[in-house]
Amino acid sequence: MKIAVCLKRVADTTSKIVIGADGKSIDEAGLKFVPNPYDEFAVEEALALKEKAGAGETVVYSLGGDSAAETLRTALAMGIDRAVLLKSPGSPDGLAVAQALAAELGTGGYDLILFGKLAVDDYNHQVGGMTAELLGLPCITAVAHLTIDGGVVEAEREIEGGIEVATCSLPAVITCDKGLNNPRLPSLKGIMAAKKKPLETRPAALGDATLEVLGLELPPERQPGRIVGEGVEAVPVLLELLRTEAKVL
């Protein structure tokens, strides 16, 4: 089985966000960057599926600047066979990114293309589904449980108040949710091996963006709250405030 994984380099989720000088992006100074957490589920799933099949190839793609090479090396250290960096300044328009990925992945002969369900920076939640649509491939998004047997995919995805069970055939695109697996940590041996694994770089063919970012700002600060009391005696005070002041009861 030949599997592609799409991986994005994002600011660590524990980062404090500072708005950059252009007023449209974040100030990256001093931030730690990591593989997008949902994409790590995709990497782990690709590795587990290849191990189970006993044969195949896993390839990781990232669209971004030179710094994304470091993120790709992390995936190689986890066990992915080779990496491709699609050099690009990126785009806030998910469709423009999906067009670049579809152009690249469409000719790869992949049985399975895996994404994280969303990237924890722009929260666009769309590139996987769009790429599938552009490629004319079946797609199941936000998958928390996956089985593949004889070319048939069965996937479970959480929906409001239930779990949706969906099926499709390979080749397919799957986007991964938390709960799918527990991503392995790169071993020391893996980190050493990753240095010798192939990492190709080529330019990305981004589509034209029709979404333009006008600005980025910090959300309004919440009004400072107050401690209404200590222990059980404070409960009636709280109830009264919820009723009369917050009016939520």
Partner 1 sequence: MASRILAVMEQRDGALRKVSREVVAAARRLADGSGGTVDALVLAAGPVADADSLGRFGADHVLVATHPDFRLYQPDGFAATIGAAATGYAAIVFAATSTGRDLAPRVAARLKVAYASDVTALAAEDGAVTVTRPVYAGKALQRARLTAEPAVVSVRPNTFPAVESPKAGEAGTVEVPAFATRVTVREIKAPTQAALDVSEAAVVVSGGRGLREPANFRLIEELAAAFGNAAVGASRAVVDAGWRDHGAQVGQTGKTVSPGLYIAVGISGAIQHLAGMRTAKTIVAINKDKDAPIFKTADYGIVGDLFEIVPRLTEEVRRARGAQ
Site for partner 1 in 167-186 (CB under 8 A): 167-169, 177-179
> Which residues are CB-neighbours of 206 under 8 A, at least 6 positions away?
88, 91, 96, 97, 99, 100
88 binds partner 1 (CB under 8 A): no
25 C-beta neighbours (distance < 10 Å), count? 14
Task: Identify the DSSP state of 195.
Answer: T
147 binds partner 1 (CB under 8 A): no
Tokens 């700002």 -> residue: 217
Which one, 30 or 162, has the nearer CB to partner 1? 162
Task: Kindly write down the DSSP assignment for every residue of 36-68, as one continuous string.
Answer: -HHHHHHHHHHHHHHHHHT--EEEEEEEESTTH
Which one, 44 or 177, has the nearer CB to partner 1? 177
Which one, 189 or 217, has the nearer CB to partner 1? 217
Task: Kindly write down the DSSP assignment for every residue of 70-94, as one continuous string.
Answer: HHHHHHHHHT-SEEEEEE----S-H
234 binds partner 1 (CB under 8 A): yes
Q: Are 115 and 42 in contact (CB under 8 A)?
A: yes
Q: Per CB under 8 A, which of residues 47..66 are in contact with partner 1?
A: none
Which one, 152 or 192, has the nearer CB to partner 1? 152
243 binds partner 1 (CB under 8 A): yes
29 binds partner 1 (CB under 8 A): no
Burial label, 29 (beta-carbon count in 10 A; 0-12, 13-18, 19+): exposed
Q: Per CB under 8 A, which of residues 93..132 are in contact with partner 1?
A: 93-95, 98, 120-132
142 binds partner 1 (CB under 8 A): yes
How many residues contact partner 1, by CB under 8 A?
87
Stretch that binds partner 1, among 9-17, 78-86, 106-114, 190-198 (CB under 8 A): 9-17
Q: Which of 53, 65, 192, 211 binds partner 1 (CB under 8 A)?
A: 211
31 binds partner 1 (CB under 8 A): no
> Which residues are CB-neighbours of 183 under 8 A, at least 6 positions away?
40, 41, 43, 44, 78
- Spatial distance between the Cα atoms of 185 and 203, rounded to a whole number of angstroms: 30
Category of 210 on φ-ψ map: left (φ > 0), alpha (ψ -120 to 50) or beta: alpha
69 binds partner 1 (CB under 8 A): no
163 binds partner 1 (CB under 8 A): yes
Q: Which of 65, 109, 151, 229 binds partner 1 (CB under 8 A)?
A: 229
150 binds partner 1 (CB under 8 A): no
152 binds partner 1 (CB under 8 A): no
212 binds partner 1 (CB under 8 A): yes
Which one, 191 or 216, has the nearer CB to partner 1? 216
Q: Are 47 and 246 in contact (CB under 8 A)?
A: no
